[in-house]
């Protein structure tokens, strides 16, 4: 079996999980290097990862894939180094949002639109974590009954903001338990025992909405290939360490019963149905964290509109929402003979 040289730009929360998942998924790995702002050796699960400083396109020569592993909202790395790496012959898989809507760049969830990878120019984008988690169950339902409109409310874990946000929630929780003053730096307000109805800055092209909320609509339409789908969302940060949850209210063009939707989802790759209200079984972030699949449940009719369903989903935002999806893109490209 051919093996591949891999590099990462960034070794934070997403980069660390890429290393773990490459090993866990037995990726055919020949060499692994990380690029960051200073040279060092990082120990991940007891194994060393060499960290170098990328100076330009020449740093990427000899590598097959480059994972740009910044957390959601991280800016600059792919703008500075991405296209240079691509021109050096390395396939860039970018977790950031700088090029997701670029017409040159496939925006890919392999279970949904792997065919888009055929048009790559050595540069592929990972979708936003909330988009990936929502579309994993919605895609199969879209194929059956065509989505007309999505109303989405997210409950997003602090890991989506990176390692510093995880530490901030830990420190605030300890301070609260000890009766000490609570301070905040990562978020505009205390996150422990609170919710913050802002993720990202105000969207320039959608007044009153945040950048995170705007992404859900744009990316959904690009991935599903349907510019007519309407999306409205409210994205909220919650005091959960890992695992994003989303309440989805979906209007379809055709009738779709909860029973038929459940049967479709039970046969959908990358999705696990957890749906028995009588037994208090429904998706929860504590259950999806560290799992490949997106959990879906609370599947029920929306009586307020014709052809409406409501459902609740939860997925690991660092895995399927970032690191796992990026690795799956590389795996799919190898399987399709694109690398």
List phi, psi (to 5°) of 203: -70, 130
* Same domain flag for 141 and 281: yes
Rounded to whole angstroms, the Cα distance separating 7 from 334 reads 16
Beta strands in the chain (DSSP E): 4-9, 29-35, 40-44, 47-52, 65-68, 91-94, 123-125, 147-156, 230-237, 244-252, 271-273, 294-301, 308-315
Together in a domain, 29 and 106: yes
The CATH number that applies at residue 221 is 3.30.360.10
CATH (domain of 105): 3.40.50.720
Output the DSSP codes for 80-119: IIIHHHHHTTPEEEE-SSTTTT-TTS-B--HHHHGGGGGG
114 and 137, same structural domain? no
**Does 281 share its domain with 138?**
yes
Q: Rounded to 5 degrees, what angle do the CA atoms 304, 307, 309 make? A: 70
Side by side, which strands form the sheet with 47-52? 40-44, 47-52, 29-35, 4-9, 65-68, 91-94, 123-125
Q: What is the pLDDT of residues 215-237, one digit of tens each?
A: 999 999 999 999 999 999 999 99
Q: Are 8 and 139 part of one and the same domain?
A: no
Global pTM exceeds 0.75: yes
Separation of alpha carbons 311 and 282, rounded Å:
10
CA torsion through residues 232, 236, 100, 287, sign: negative
Q: Contact 235/209 with Cβ under 8 angstroms?
A: no
pLDDT at 75: 60
Same domain, 161 and 183: yes
Residues 121 and 156 occupy one common structural domain? no
**Total number of domains constituting the chain:** 2
151 plus 279 within the same structural domain? yes
Could you give the CA distance from residue 34 to residue 5 in angstroms, rounded to a whole number? 11
Catalytic residues, by residue number, are 129, 244
Per-residue pLDDT of the chain (339 residues; tens, 9 = 90+): 899 999 999 988 899 999 999 999 999 999 999 999 899 999 999 889 999 999 899 999 999 999 999 765 556 688 999 999 999 999 999 999 999 999 999 999 999 999 999 999 999 999 999 999 999 999 999 999 999 999 999 999 999 999 999 999 999 999 999 999 999 999 999 999 999 999 999 999 999 999 999 999 999 999 999 999 999 999 999 999 999 999 999 999 999 999 999 999 999 999 999 999 999 999 999 999 999 999 999 999 999 999 999 999 999 999 999 999 999 999 999 999 998
Give the structural domain span for 166: 131-317
Evaluate whether 283 touches 268 at the Cβ level (below 8 Å).
no
Q: Which residues contact 175 (CB under 8 A, 6 or more apart)?
A: 181, 182, 183, 192
Distances (CA, A) of 116 to 7, 124, 182, 224: 23, 9, 47, 11
Q: Within 10 A of 284 (CB to CB), how many other CB atoms are there?
A: 17
Indicate if 214 and 123 belong to the same structural domain.
Answer: no
| Residues 285 and 315: beta-carbon distance below 8 Å | no
Do 140 and 65 lie in one domain? The reply is no
Do residues 218 and 266 both lie within one domain? yes
Query: Which DSSP string do the residues of 169-229 spell out, in sequence order?
Result: HHHHHHHHHTT-----SSSSS--TT--BS--SSBPTTSTTSBHHHHHHHHHHHHHHT-TT-
Q: Are residues 59 and 165 in the same domain?
A: no
């Amino acid at each position: 079996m051919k093996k591949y040289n891999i590099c990462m730009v960034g070794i934070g929360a997403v980069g660390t999980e890429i290393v773990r998942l490459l090993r866990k998924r037995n990726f055919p790995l020949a060499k692994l290097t990380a690029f960051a702002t200073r040279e060092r050796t990082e120990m991940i699960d007891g194994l060393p990862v060499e960290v170098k400083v990328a100076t330009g396109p020449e740093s990427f020569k000899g590598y097959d894939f480059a994972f740009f592993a910044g957390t959601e909202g991280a800016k600059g790395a792919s703008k500075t180094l991405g296209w240079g790496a691509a021109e050096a012959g390395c396939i860039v898989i970018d977790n950031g949002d700088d090029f997701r809507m670029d017409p040159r760049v496939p925006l890919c969830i392999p279970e949904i639109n792997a065919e888009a990878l055929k048009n790559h120019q050595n540069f592929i984008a990972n979708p936003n974590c909330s988009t990936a988690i929502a579309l994993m169950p919605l895609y199969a339902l879209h194929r059956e009954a065509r989505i007309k409109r999505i109303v989405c409310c997210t409950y997003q874990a602090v890991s989506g903001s990176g390692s510093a946000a995880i530490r901030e929630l830990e420190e605030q929780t300890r301070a609260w338990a000890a009766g000490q003053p609570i301070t905040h730096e990562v978020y505009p307000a205390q996150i422990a025992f609170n919710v913050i109805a802002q993720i990202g800055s105000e969207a320039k092209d959608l007044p009153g909405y945040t950048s995170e909320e705007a992404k859900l609509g744009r990316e959904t339409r690009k991935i599903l290939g349907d510019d007519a789908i309407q999306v409205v969302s409210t994205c909220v940060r919650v005091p959960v360490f890992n695992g994003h949850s989303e309440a989805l209210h979906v209007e379809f063009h055709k009738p779709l019963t909860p029973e038929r939707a459940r049967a479709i989802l039970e046969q959908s790759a990358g999705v696990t149905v957890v749906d028995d209200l009588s037994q208090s079984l429904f998706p929860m972030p504590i259950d999806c964290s560290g799992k490949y699949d997106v959990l879906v449940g609370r599947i029920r009719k929306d009586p307020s509109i014709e052809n409406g369903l409501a459902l609740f989903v939860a997925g690991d935002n660092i895995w399927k929402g970032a690191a796992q999806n990026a690795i799956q893109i590389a795996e799919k490209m190898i399987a399709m003979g694109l690398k």
